[in-house]
Amino acid sequence: MENKKIPAFTFAIVAIILGIVLFKHFDFKNMSFEKPLLDALYFIIFAFSIYALIKNRKNQIEK
């Protein structure tokens, strides 16, 4: 079975955009988010994209 290559550029763009959105939605005075459920979904996708980038980088270094 072939090892599918992860599109690193796409995940990098997604991580950058979601990181900026999460930063803008966070209220530092009240230590809370504007839209908690939507921001939780953004964080999950952000974390997955960072994980995919790290996994892709590790695979490139091993080869």
What secondary structure does DSSP assign to 1-13, as a single string?
-PPPPP-HHHHHH
Position 1 in a domain = no
| pLDDT one-digit tens code per residue, 3-37 | 666 688 889 999 999 999 999 999 999 999 989 99
Position 44 in a domain = yes
Beta bridge partners of 33: 26
Position 32 in a domain = yes
Q: Is the pLDDT of residue 2 over 60?
A: no
Residue 33's domain spans which residues? 8-62
Cα 12 to its chain centre, rounded Å, is 8
Position 37 in a domain = yes
Number of domains in the chain: 1
Report the alpha-carbon distance of residue 9 to residue 17 in Å, rounded. Answer: 12
Position 43 in a domain = yes
Please, which pLDDT band fits residue 1 given cuts at 50, 70 and 90? very low
Position 2 in a domain = no
Position 39 in a domain = yes
